[in-house]
Amino acid sequence: MHTIEFLRHPAPDHPSTHLWAVRVDGVDLRRRVADATRALWHPELADQFEDQEREEEELLLTQHAGLPTTEFAPAHFLTPGDSTPVLGCSCGIWGCWPLLAAVGVTADSVTWTGFRQPHRPRWGTLPLGPFTFARAPYERALASAPTLDRDPLEGEQPGTCP
């Protein structure tokens, strides 16, 4: 079983709005997505940046943002479905560039699998997960999500997941 943390933090351009952040086994989900999509992005980004490595890494980490807490209540993360948004777009319009997952819910567990980017169907299912969480700790993490004063990725060193 994996562990999950849900956090809330202010949206970058709208500090009165809070976003959900998600950590799986202590690693921000956005970092995991960056690692899973690096090779998929590479052909599109080749020779696009002056400082290729640094700017590409920044794009990979910021391609997604958390979902707005005002639109996505805790129950959203407990609703089974094949195309459940678990991250949104960094522009603030969650549907612009969502990360979708199949969410399965049983009496004892919650599973996230089949991650995909609907605007890049040729990418297929991303090499990410599946993540299965014990349901009781998952629900506790949702119910007691702390509110941070900044995005948990701020100040982290770039790089790949441990």
* Of residues 44 and 68, more confidently modeled: 68
The pLDDT of residue 109 is above 70: yes
| pLDDT score for 125 | 97
Answer with the residue of higher pLDDT: 13 or 47.
13
Lowest mean pLDDT among 13-17, 18-22, 134-138: 13-17
Cβ–Cβ < 8 Å for 23, 4: yes
The two tokens of residue 75 are 């129950």
pLDDT in tens, 71-99: 999 999 999 999 999 999 988 888 999 99
pLDDT in tens, 49-69: 555 566 777 888 989 999 999
Residues whose CB is less than 8 angstroms from the CB of residue 32 and which lie 6 or more positions away in sequence, other chains included: 24, 128, 161
Query: What is the model's pLDDT at position 41?
Result: 85
For 2-16, write each residue's pLDDT tens digit.
Answer: 999 999 999 988 888
The runs of H, that is alpha helices, within 26-88 are 29-45, 52-62
The span from the CA of 68 to the CA of 11, in Å, is: 8
pLDDT at 14: 83
pLDDT of residue 159 exceeding 60, the answer is no
For the chain, counts of helices (H) and of strands (E): 3, 8
Half-sphere exposure of residue 50, counting CA atoms within 13 Å on the CB side? 0
pLDDT the model gives residue 160? 43
Per-residue pLDDT, averaged over 123-142, amounts to 97
pLDDT in tens, 143-156: 999 999 999 988 66
